[in-house]
Structure 1
Amino acid sequence: MQTDYQIFEAGDVVLQSGITLPDCRIAYKTYGRLNSAKDNAILYPTWFSGRHTDNEWLIGPQMALNPEQYFIIVPNMLGNGLSSSPSNTPPPFNGAYFPQVTLYDNVRLQHRLLTGHLGVRHIQLAVGWSMAAAQVYQWGALYPDMVARIAPFCGTPRTSPHTFVFLEGLAAALKGGITPEQGLRAMARVLAGWAFTQNFYREELFRTALGFASLEDFLRGFWEASFLSWDPQDILSMIKTGQYGADISANEVFQHDHVRALNAIRARALVMPSSTDMYFPVEDHRLAVEHMPNATLVPVPSIWGHFAGGRGIHPPDTAFIDDHLKVLLASQS
């Protein structure tokens, strides 16, 4: 089967859980070319339920992430069905037996991909949405000498208790279906109530901006359609990563000292929450920025909630993010 991505064969990898994941693979796609100095790289990881193609809305010749100028690397998260996941790992770690993975596990593998496999020496920018934003924070904390700038948007450096509970609701809906399809449909409908705001629904933007004929049409045609092709165990794996493995200080480097991990981020940081995000409210980002030595907080003014930063479906929000990324990339690191 032809694919539009490449595979980094990482071999047997000892995860933070202490379990060795055999024949670990990271699927990735690159855009543009690495220059002779090997310092024009931009790292743009995937997010919960995202794959590399879902990141392409922010990549283009007229955009900040310009493949004619930069070498853009999009690694797929463990668990997303392309990189090592419950659905593609053979026994004894297949399906529900796939080991717990963390964003720290992901970032360490991404570092190996970039430095050992692709030859990248310096990262001009690490950028990402939602669960990818947590990976971006982790990159800044772990590799401060390598990363010049970071731009996490609509995502925090650790999972709050509130977000943990939200993710628990997703897992319960997914596991509560009589069939896997019913579980996926139920989970999608839970997400629908969180990802967009009350004002989005009150103004019926699902109809006027996205073109759906009715609310039910939107729930099925946008939300359920986004998840019905997924393996439920892959989704559950990423949920567990978000619940138990998304804290940039939960590793041997920072020993759960969250403030020390944030202090370690020396990169010029542009932190862009959505002003109406119900997953990751602005206050959570403000608390993080207080402990980052070179960070600026710039909320995205939007009523699109978490999806102010998602998939490029609202052009004004896309333009806001892209314009600020252009300014960030033009700044001195």
Structure 2
Amino acid sequence: MKILASIVLSLSSLSLLAQSAPQQPEPVEHTYVIHNFHTESGVTLPEAKIVYGTYGHLNAAGDNAILLPSHYMANMKGYGWLIGPGKALDPEKQFLITSELFGNGRSSSPSNTPEPFHGPRFPVTTIRDNVEAVHQLLTQELGVKHLQAVIGFSMGAQQAFQWAVSYPDYMDRIVATSGTAKTYGHGIVRLESEINAIETDDAFKGGDYTTEPVKGIQSFSLVWTAWLFSQEWWHQELWKTEEPAGRTLAQVIENYKTHFIPDADANNLILQMRTWEQHDVGTTPGFNGDTTKALGSIKAQVLYMPSATDLYFPVTDARTEAPLIPHCTLLPIPSLWGHPAGAGASPADEKFLNGNVAAFMKGQPLHP
């Protein structure tokens, strides 16, 4: 069954099925470096590194590419639930690019950037910063002239919406699962509570720690876990469907507390939460903070797939945004698995996502 023990690996490969499938394709890893990268905060990074993966090959026309931008603290392998034999995306026919967000510890991050931008001095990078960096990667490094689609889960969905606003003619479609075009007040409160859990550990030392603030990270993990699944998921004890079998609730909670994101760096965790909470397509230059106007500018066909039980990005937020987007189909995922439903957290979720994404890509009827 599905295993959700860590976001780095879990929401970068949510299922043992995806991890163990003998024919599961693996991406080729690359690093792209941008010199003197200007961030929206006004800070210029001498070198901005983007780690990314590729599956398949770009065709001669340069137009068989699909971008899958990563989610919170995830790596390039975060879309295994959607890629491979019998799934929606086929590396034998499509050129798939999986980009890693700034702050994940591999792309430029507080933990791996030299002074004067190391640790807490690393600038807050926005979703648009990530989109701009990857746009340079696609156009200047890979020669991608046009995207068939941008497909994203969670913070990847935030990026998908931003791509559609920033570069409306660059892709034909976007798919957004378990993520919205703006982070609303309730989500910001959640993120601030998780940031506060880390920062109140005395070992954090304002971000200038010499050893990781373990207690703070564990407190962060517990807060995060409380929001990860739906209340009904816990009520029905669906954690019993995860491996290893036979665990008690106390053991499940302790596992999330101590192993939620193995080897996480506190400043990296905080940076990506700041990226998340600041996002709003309405603050894109030219829209003057008008989210409605920004959403109305989207030209791509949109498949908007919130989880029906998501506590991070509530389905009510998606129902508010979807009518503002031209050519948008709202298709909630009927799941009790909360936020991770948007990354195939259960076999039923994975089947629902793959069937509908495949149909959407082919212009065929969807299956609610």
**Separation (CA, whole Å) in 1 of partners of 2:30 and 2:262:** 25
Give secondary structure in 2 for the equivalent of 1:317. helix
> In structure 1, what is the equivalent of residue 134 of structure 2?
110
**Which amino acid in 2 is paired with 1:319?**
K
2:243 aligned with 1:219, yes or no? no
How is 1:1-333 mapped onto 2 (pairs within 5 angstroms)? 5-179=29-203, 180-212=213-245, 213-222=247-256, 224-244=258-278, 246-310=279-343, 312-331=344-363
**Separation (CA, whole Å) in 2 of partners of 1:70 and 1:301:** 28
**Deviation of the 1:39 alpha carbon:** 0.6
1:208-247 CA deviation, whole Å, 9 max, x = no partner? 3444501232223345313231111000100111122x11
**Separation (CA, whole Å) in 1 of partners of 2:253 and 2:55:** 33
Give secondary structure in 1 for the equivalent of 2:66. strand
**Separation (CA, whole Å) in 1 of partners of 2:55 and 2:100:** 14
C-alpha contact (below 8 Å) 2:147/2:170 kept by paired residues = yes
**Separation (CA, whole Å) in 2 of partners of 1:326 and 1:232:** 38
**Which amino acid in 2 is paired with 1:233?**
N
**Deviation of the 1:264 alpha carbon:** 1.2
**Which amino acid in 2 is paired with 1:238?**
Q
Which stretch has the larger CA shift, 157-166 or 210-219? 210-219
Residues 287, 93 of structure 1: CA spacing in aligned structure 2 closer, same or farther, 3 A cutoff? same
**Deviation of the 1:291 alpha carbon:** 1.0
1:80-120 CA deviation, whole Å, 9 max, x = no partner? 11110000100000001101110000001111111111000
**Deviation of the 1:56 alpha carbon:** 2.2
**Which amino acid in 2 is paired with 1:158?**
K
**Separation (CA, whole Å) in 1 of partners of 2:63 and 2:347:** 30
**Deviation of the 1:258 alpha carbon:** 0.9
1:300-333 CA deviation, whole Å, 9 max, x = no partner? 00011111113x331110110111100111018x
**Which amino acid in 1 is paired with 2:37?**
V
Give secondary structure in 2 for the equivalent of 1:105. helix
**Deviation of the 1:255 alpha carbon:** 2.1
**Separation (CA, whole Å) in 2 of partners of 1:11 and 1:60:** 35
**Separation (CA, whole Å) in 2 of partners of 1:325 and 1:307:** 16
TM-score by length of 2: 0.86
Structure 2 unaligned residues grouped into runs of 5+: 1-26, 204-212
> In structure 1, what is the equivalent of residue 20 of structure 2?
none
Give secondary structure in 2 for the equivalent of 1:59. coil
TM-score by length of 1: 0.95
Residues 241, 24 of structure 1: CA spacing in aligned structure 2 closer, same or farther, 3 A cutoff? same
C-alpha contact (below 8 Å) 1:61/1:68 kept by paired residues = no
Give secondary structure in 2 for the equivalent of 1:55. coil
Percent of pairs with identical residues: 38
**Separation (CA, whole Å) in 1 of partners of 2:178 and 2:257:** 19
1:156-206 CA deviation, whole Å, 9 max, x = no partner? 001000000000011011222344111111111111110111111111111
C-alpha contact (below 8 Å) 2:65/2:97 kept by paired residues = yes
**Separation (CA, whole Å) in 1 of partners of 2:34 and 2:250:** 44
**Separation (CA, whole Å) in 2 of partners of 1:109 and 1:13:** 8
**Which amino acid in 2 is paired with 1:315?**
P
**Separation (CA, whole Å) in 1 of partners of 2:297 and 2:135:** 17
Give secondary structure in 1 for the equivalent of 2:98. strand
Give secondary structure in 1 for the equivalent of 2:81. helix
C-alpha contact (below 8 Å) 2:337/2:345 kept by paired residues = no
| Structural RMSD (CA) | 1.5
